Structure 1
Amino acid sequence: MSHLELSRPRPDVAVITLNRPDKLNALNFGLVEELHRTLDDVNDDELCRVVVLTGAGRGFCSGLDLTDPFPDDASRGLPFPRSSMRWQERIAELTVKLSTLRQPVISAVNGPAYGGGFALAMASDIRVASPSARFCTQFIKLGLGGCDIGVSYTLPRIVGAGQAFDLILTARTVEADEALRIGLVSRIATGPVLDEALAIAETLCDYGKFGLESTKQVLWANLEAPSLQAALHLENRSQVLSTTTGELTAATSDFASRKKN
């Protein structure tokens, strides 16, 4: 049985829906592996320009399914603790995949985003919340360290170190309104959150193919830029390369045509 749905509301937009609604789309081995395969396939799809990630039912993703231990094949036949490390690394690789995917990823957070679900949302490029969305790092509540699946890297860069330390150490729940106020999400949907995410996707698809792809790459790369000068070097090269695609000429002509009318 598939734990994930892939749909294409238009040829250049892929909607990935985590589909374990009875478990609030909690991550088990099957869902993790399906998500890896789907992200790999989407990354190789030259028609796809934007990815929307959401959850089925009333939740986005409630984190790791603690009632569904990973099967033997997840451990690759290795003894503990190496087996657990392989499983840990496999889950954590999802955040790397989302951030390095060629296409921008919009998380349409339609309900609870806890633990691993929180991490997936933080690894996305844009986060849109429904009024019922709730966010919680959760890890430290489970007797684990609070830093997991990339949140110690992504969260401080989204909301700042002070807010991130608070959210990770206390593992308190953040409602949609506070999430917007502290910059955890960029907007709260006034209608169905998936519709809001698809409207953003439509806007992005109107932009140049190279420009959109390179913008995501530069944004993530410059999170680690050692200086303004280093960031400018990367921006400058990306801009010059973008002039070779013909998209600048087309956009300029379109703008001039609309201005005359």
Structure 2
Amino acid sequence: MEIDTGTTELLCEVRDGVALITLNRPEARNAMSDKLTPALRSQIRERGEDPDVGAILITGAGTAFCSGGDVKGMGGRGPRGQMTFEERLSDLRWRQAALTGALVAVRKPTVAALPGAAAGAGLAIALACDIRIAARSAFVSTGYAKVGLSGDYGIAWLLTRAVGSARARELMFTAERVDAERCERIGLVNRIVADDKLRDEAFEFAKSLANGPRVALRNMKDNLDDALHIDYATALHREAERLVQASRTEDHKEAVRAFVEKRKPAFVGR
């Protein structure tokens, strides 16, 4: 089912329980824009709440994932350059919360498929997803140091949790280009696939998650998020509550039946 995003710069379809969201400015390496970015914020929110969607897959058209912000609009040349400091600060905080903040908050599995460059805020969007799958020719860069900026969209927080503090500092300070193989070695991406297989393999992966036990997967995300900032005793307490909740679902009962009957479970998402 095709979804009307309000602009051709962002495409969305829901198929087999997967919301496939495609950044569609290939001529600009899918850089964020005043049309693409609001549409992306809306789709993250709407597909995150859509009961027909079990997983979200974000990718880019052409040979890039997302090259980040539009550099031509930086340095006070864009409309935001006319804002006061407080207006600009409030605007950026809202935009961050509504994009990567909302993506991190989605309680469904999220996957980023990188056909090529993911840089700056584009890398932050990829890092805000649970899983990253890269084409062999893909690469990433924090990018901010090259344009004299310190980072936004939560990139320092997200990058530190992906690769650790020392590596995150290196990547932020140098803004170096990191190829797919190194990304996999240091934990920036989960797996690499052939360029011409990326879309199909990423979709099949997202589909397998969408067709999984949705309550259990949501609870897993809660447990994994908690693990970053709570003590072990509290983690045990919360895990127990969520497991008991999952044990009462139809999906758990179906999984037990399927195990006994030696067949693949047919989950229904509740």
TM-score by length of structure 1 reads 0.91
Alignment partners' CA distance in 1, 2:152 and 2:30: 19
Correspondence 1:140 to 2:145: yes
Name the amino acid aligned to 1:207.
G
Residues 220-259 of structure 1 correspond to what in structure 2 (within 5 A)?
220-225=225-230, 227-258=231-262
Q: State the secondary structure of the residue aligned to 1:17.
A: strand
User: Which of 176, 179, 182 does residue 178 from structure 1 map onto?
Assistant: 182
Q: Which residue of 2 aligns with 1:108?
A: 113
Is 1:98 the equivalent of 2:103? yes
Q: Distance in 1 between matches of 2:18 and 2:118?
A: 23
Distance 1:142 1:198 in 2: 34
CA distance in structure 1 between the aligned counterparts of 2:62 and 2:87, rounded to whole angstroms: 33
Task: Give 1:188's aligned residue.
Answer: 192
For 1:212, the equivalent position in structure 2 comes to 217
2:30 pairs with one of 18, 25, 30: 25
1:34 aligned partner: 39
* In structure 2, C-alpha distance between the alignment counterparts of 1:234 and 1:185, rounded to whole Å: 28
- Tell me the residue number matched to 2:266: none
Give per-residue Cα distances to partners, 1:67-105, cap 9 Å, x unaligned: 246975x79xx9411232233224422111111112211
Q: Which moved more, 1:57-66 or 1:184-193?
A: 184-193
Q: Extract unaligned runs of 5+ from structure 1.
A: none
1:117-145 Cα offsets, whole Å, 9 max, x none, are 00001111000000111100011211112
1-side partners of 2:210 and 2:27: how far apart? 33
Q: Distance in 2 between matches of 1:258 and 1:189?
A: 31
**Residues in 2 aligned to 1:166 and 1:230: alpha-carbon distance in whole angstroms:** 33
1:5 to 4, 7, 11: 11
How far apart in 2 are the matches of 1:55 and 1:87? 25
Runs of 5+ consecutive residues of structure 2 not aligned to the other structure: 1-6, 264-270
What TM-score do the two structures reach when normalised by structure 2? 0.88
Alignment of structure 1 residues 112-127 onto 2, 5 Å: 112-127=117-132
Q: Which amino acid aligns with 1:119?
A: A
Which of 196, 203, 221 aligns to 1:198? It is 203
Identity of aligned pairs, percent?
32
Deviation at 1:157, TM superposition (A): 1.0
| Structure 1 ranges of 4+ moved more than 3 A | 68-72
Per-residue CA distance 1:202-224 (angstroms, 9 max, x = gap): 22133212112221222123222
- Bigger Cα displacement from structure 2, 241-250 vs 167-176: 241-250
CA distance in 1 between partners of 2:95 and 2:60 (Å): 17
User: How many residues in Structure 1 have an aligned counterpart in Structure 2?
Assistant: 253
Query: Does structure 1 residue 44 correspond to structure 2 residue 49?
Result: yes
Q: CA RMSD in A?
A: 1.9
SS for the counterpart of 2:236 is helix
Contact preservation (8 Å) 2:110, 2:129: yes
What code does the residue aligned with 1:172 have? E
